[in-house]
Structure 1
């Protein structure tokens, strides 16, 4: 019996190439406009995971190196979310909801002893939480700014009635931004019934019993919900205050 889900070898490489080509071909045929991006993302993921797999082996033995790697993850997440939201270089404010949503929880887990002070434990947990905050920030930011652009007349009407720019923006964009929580909510609601997420499977494959795997996955899901709620609220606030914006979405201008 093998301890891994997939057999590593030439067949796996061929399967990855075929799946990437299939996804790109379907996206192109369906005129989704992301065919080249799918191939680029797959190639980047391959190279990055190969590099990270080598780097982590050297990093996990040092807490200073681990801390540096976590900060690097935050920086990359900030750049990614910022570009998704603003479409340019003005998205560095995206780091505020990402860092505020994820790192305090990691610190609290370490201080309470729930998370061992070891790189091999800190890096995956921090990565899951930072990744969740990044996704929530990107989705909330894009949807909020899209609504501010598409419903600009409503914003101007609210301003004409005497609402401050922040309140006028929140009135329009907050409901749309809140939809960024739907993926996390659906995953949490259906866990065990529709999907068995990565943390559960990973702990099982690591040799733990199903109860331990279930408790670990429960913690990850609820932790992600908390992180993403904080990220969405802060993202909406930054947009309402004009910190995160595109050139055509400044409220009151």
Structure 2
């Protein structure tokens, strides 16, 4: 099946962006500039990445594959840390969490025979895992920040009664982990009924047998559940300690 996507069709499809711009303008949302910038950035980034991936796939070099995966993880970590300005070690916490979720999940997939260690499989899957971990961790960070402010008095009272910082924070930690994992779990509940996910839709659109596309999507669902769970737990348990000083005093 040949996809009829050429430069002209893409240019005409760009008219769809006007829908967002018109809505932003008429409703005075203030997103017009952001929409234009995001579109241009997306085009530039995707073109660069497209040619870069084409080269990496052709070369099929282990070190280039690992380097590309590392770039994805580092970039995801930089973006995740922006979700909470109170975390001094936000980048390193995010890096540990995202790298762990990516390595563990991909490791299981390779050992199970679901994928092979080739750039055309490792790089895209690393991107999916890191992206979803980044979003989940960002939600955890925001939840931590909100809950520590909202429940500050309760935490102080627990500390005053002799509780450790872990015991004083455990309710906040668990709620933050739930917040980070919730979107992925909700998505898994409705996949195939409410939505046809990107990977499955893309394969079907490209002419792949829907049954085979479904198998790939099931694998992706398992993969993302694992990645967001690992990332959320590691990031939250490392991040909550940043709300205390060396004397175990709450600093928010």
User: TM-score, normalising length from structure 2?
Assistant: 0.86
For residues 101-149 of structure 1, give each alpha carbon's deviation from its aligned partner in whole angstroms, at most 9, with x where no partner exists.
1122212322343212221111111111111111111111111112112
Q: State the partner residue of 1:50.
A: 47
CA distance in 2, matches of 1:174, 1:29: 41
Q: State the partner residue of 1:12.
A: 10
1:187-226 alignment to 2 at 5 Å?
187-226=187-226
Matched, 1:38 2:35: yes
Between 1:76-85 and 1:114-123, the stretch displaced more is 114-123
Alignment length (residue pairs): 246
Answer whether contact 2:176 2:236 (CA < 8 A) is retained.
Answer: no
Report the CA distance shift for 1:26/1:146 in structure 2 as closer, same or farther (over 3 A).
farther
Answer whether contact 2:105 2:226 (CA < 8 A) is retained.
Answer: no
3-state DSSP of counterpart to 2:155: helix
Answer whether contact 1:73 1:127 (CA < 8 A) is retained.
Answer: yes
Answer whether contact 2:173 2:237 (CA < 8 A) is retained.
Answer: no
* CA-CA distance at 1:14 after TM superposition: 4.1
* CA-CA distance at 1:34 after TM superposition: 4.6
Gaps of at least 5 residues in structure 1 are none
* CA-CA distance at 1:180 after TM superposition: 2.1
* CA-CA distance at 1:73 after TM superposition: 0.2
Matched, 1:23 2:23: no
CA distance in 2, matches of 1:184, 1:69: 25
Q: State the partner residue of 2:68.
A: 69
Q: State the partner residue of 1:172.
A: 172
Answer whether contact 1:82 1:91 (CA < 8 A) is retained.
Answer: yes
Answer whether contact 2:244 2:250 (CA < 8 A) is retained.
Answer: no
3-state DSSP of counterpart to 1:114: coil
